[in-house]
Amino acid sequence: MAKYASKHYDPVKAHEYYMKHRKLKGRKKGRKRKVGYVDTAKQEAHIKDLRKQADNLVKESRKIPKGKSGKAQRAKLAKKRDKLRKQLRSAKASLLKTRKSNAKVIEKNRQAIQKARNKLRKAYGDAILSKSKGKPISKKKINSIQAQLLGIRDNLTGGQ
């Protein structure tokens, strides 16, 4: 084991550091993504990278000498350029498809939120009406409204 260890590694110091910092922090809570929504940042970065590669090919092609001496190099670059064009076309089509899908998911979520708001308005409206008639709002009714609120929230956030 010792022959694999680095000469800078000190097991005593490593153990001390571990003992000092061993408190586990756990997972940080974050906002859960909507089901079905896909982040397009990676796709956009890939397209940007493909465009950079295409620009570099153009710069390379300008450096190739004209005439028969550079014919093989130009043919090789033309193949690379065609391959990049196909990749770029495919990546753009994929990005467009993802954006359309995201738009559908966003619209579906918007409709779900609207339905939830309508349910809440009705629940609170019923509670306010019963209160305005002089009847106290029952504990059962309050618990029912709270349960509806929690159910709607869980549906919209995916249970988090």
**What is the tens place of the pLDDT at every residue in 127-142?**
666 665 666 667 777 7
Can you give the residue range of the structural domain that contains 129? 37-157
In this structure, is residue 8 part of a structural domain? no
pLDDT single digits (tens) 55-100? 888 888 888 888 777 888 888 888 988 999 999 999 999 888 888 8
2 located within any domain: no
Pick the closest to residue 152 from 126, 107, 119, 110 (CA basis): 119
Judge whether 30 lies within some domain. no
Q: Domain count of the chain?
A: 1
Q: Which of 112-116, 123-127, 155-159 has the lowest mean pLDDT?
A: 155-159
pTM to 2 decimals?
Answer: 0.49
Do the Cβ atoms of 84 and 53 come closer than 8 Å? yes
Residue 70: inside a domain: yes
pLDDT at 32 > cutoff 70: no
Give the Cα separation of 137 and 150 in Å (integer): 19
Classify residue 28: in a domain, yes or no. Answer: no
pLDDT at 159: 53
Q: Is 100 inside any structural domain?
A: yes
Query: Tell me, what's the pLDDT at 86?
Result: 92
12 in a structural domain: no
Q: How sure is the predictor about 35, in pLDDT bands with cuts at 50, 70 and 90?
A: low
Task: Give the position of tokens 């498809």.
Answer: 97
Cβ count near 81 (within 10 Å): 16
- Confidence class of residue 33 from pLDDT cuts 50, 70 and 90? low
Please check whether residue 31 lies inside any domain of the structure.
no
Question: Residue 31: what pLDDT?
Answer: 62
